[in-house]
Amino acid sequence: MCGFVGIYGNEDVAPQVYDSLIALQHRGQDAAGICSYDSHTFHLKKGMGLVRDIFHEGNMVRLKGQMGIGHVRYPTIGGYGIEDAQPFISHSPFGIAMAHNGNVFNSWELKEDLFKNDHCLVGSSCDVEVILNLFRSALLKQKIKNKLTFENMCKAAKSVFERAKGAYTVVGIIAGHGMIAFRDPHAIRPGIIGIRRGGMKDEYIIASEKIALDILGFEVLRDLAPGEFIHIDVEHELHSKIVMKRSYSPCIFEYVYLARPDSVIDKISVYNARLRMGKKLGKRIKKLNWDIDVVIPVPDSSRPAAVGVSDVLKIKYREGLVKNRYIGRTFIMPGQAIRQKSIHYKLNPIEYEIKGRNVLLVDDSIVRGNTSEKIVKMLRKTGAKKIYFASAAPELRNPCLYGIDMPERESFIANQLTVEQIREKINVDGLIYQTMEDLRDCVVPYNKKMTPCGACMDGKYVTGDIDEDVLAQADNLRSCGGMGAQQSDQMKLI
Ligand code: AMP
């Protein structure tokens, strides 16, 4: 769960990279970084925490150059220190900087392999450093004598695709050669490219989500295709090639939870997909004859779904929970205890909308069940008569090895309890989950070319290389504190 951006403009781009990172902040709050390139050298600034806390006039002025890449981090692999913050730079060959969103689940093996066979030490536990070194090593193996060509770069990207298992969209700069980007052969993580015409030369942006384009006035060119490699050369000319295509399987959980509702991913509006999720739920709730007075979303990501439910049921939608947006770093701390305390800290009920009413709460998903349990408790204390709960996502059961932070299998409440038992545990009068079929129906008909990945719900890992051993390894890593374990304790309450 990270966000990235790359901008190739006509003047210093770091301020625009900063603005895009602010727009992508929801994708990661743990660390952030910007690397610019001014035709001579890279300028890098990384820090822990929120974008607004890391960058200021003093450090932005030195981020010179018409090319810049930026990153916001929410670790799914690696540690939590500054050494794992992105972007990463390698000074030879040429000088390459990279940032990504995704997860390379064989990165530990690759690190060993890179050391043994490619004589290259990966210093951090961040998987983009592995990708960077795979790419660089593939360039070195080509023994490039004169100019680095587009074909050389495509070969290097192909080698990354062959070796790095998982999902990743990558943006980078190659000194003296321009900007590059590539999306994994299953297109699991998002990546969109935009153009701004009318200046001295065409300017380009490549980002995790469309909002980064919107705020800077870039027009959408298209989403990156599965296995596509893109190069924008020093003349601002765009070159592209599908290096290796396997399937077109964007992550369905982006639509459920992660992306901003005003983004459009792979031609599908996130807002509309969420609205449809609500409508599907609404149709099924209608048949249950629940006695509901008011539909209330758990802010923020479930709002459009709650609107959809309310439209179908013709029962009023009300804001009954107010989220404190200014908690920032205080909330992003490891440890279950802090997270539990923070539920009250972060969400506060509006008594007027709740007291004496039968409430239907709509949330995007239930993972461990802690959030729903706490919210229900809070609403009961506030005087709700009956409480029903609807989840816009089906039961989550499987770790995501493609870049969404999820706990080990035994921590998913749906792996421990039946729906009826979950209803009892979270103490609601009725509980409904979306069905997988309905969820797919909210997305697939709107871009028929894709077969989205929903492995966290249905266990069908689209890359076809995840077996019980890999899953057991992921569970192990997670329970001994690797791969985002602390982070899942801090799960965002939205
Ligand atoms: P839980 O208490 O574990 O059931 O968390 C459920 C809440 O976490 C829901 O309100 C979701 O909006 C949110 N959520 C869902 N997936 C994630 C994730 N991968 N990381 C952080 N928060 C999440």
* Residue-wise pLDDT tens digits, 388-435: 999 999 999 999 999 998 899 999 999 999 999 999 999 999 999 999
Given pLDDT bands bounded at 50, 70 and 90, which one contains residue 487? very low
Lowest mean pLDDT among 39-43, 229-233, 289-293, 482-486: 482-486
**480 pLDDT exceeds 80?**
no
Relative orientation angle of helices 303-313 and 270-286, to the nearest 10 degrees: 40
Question: What's residue 485's pLDDT?
Answer: 41
The answer to whether residue 261 scores a pLDDT higher than 80 is yes
Pocket test for ligand 1, best of 365, 404, 487, 494 (most atoms within 8 A of CB): 365
Model pTM greater than 0.85? yes
* Domains defined along the chain, listed by start: 3-249 (3.60.20.10), 272-447 (3.40.50.2020)
CA 402 remoteness from chain centre:
10
The closest residue, in CA terms, to atom 17 on ligand 1 is 491
351-362 pLDDT per residue, tens = 999 999 999 999
Window from 22-26, 200-204, 322-326 with minimum mean pLDDT: 322-326
Distance 79 CA to ligand 1 centre (A): 20
Nearest of 207, 160, 181 to residue 3 by alpha carbon: 207
Nearest ligand 1 atom to the CA of 302 is 12
Q: 97 C-alpha vs ligand 1 centroid, how far in Å?
A: 32
Q: Is the pLDDT of residue 486 over 90?
A: no
Whether the predicted pLDDT of 492 surpasses 60: no
Question: Is 274 touching ligand 1 by the criterion CB < 6 Å?
Answer: no
Q: What is the pLDDT of residue 329?
A: 46
Per residue in 450-474, pLDDT (tens digit) is: 999 999 999 999 999 999 999 998 8
Look over the chain and give the mean of its residue pLDDT values, rounded to a whole number.
93
Residue 489 in contact with ligand 1 by CB distance below 6 A: no
Confidence band for 339, pLDDT divided at 50, 70 and 90: low
Could you confirm whether 2 is annotated as catalytic? yes
Cα of 170 from ligand 1 centre, angstroms: 25
Q: At CB < 8 A and 24+ separation, what contacts does 337-341 make?
A: 338/490, 339/370, 339/489, 339/490, 339/491, 340/370, 340/374
Q: Is the pLDDT of residue 221 over 60?
A: yes
Q: Is 112 exposed, middle or buried (0-12, 13-18, 19+ CB in 10 A)?
A: exposed
**What would the two tokens of residue 262 be?**
């005003």
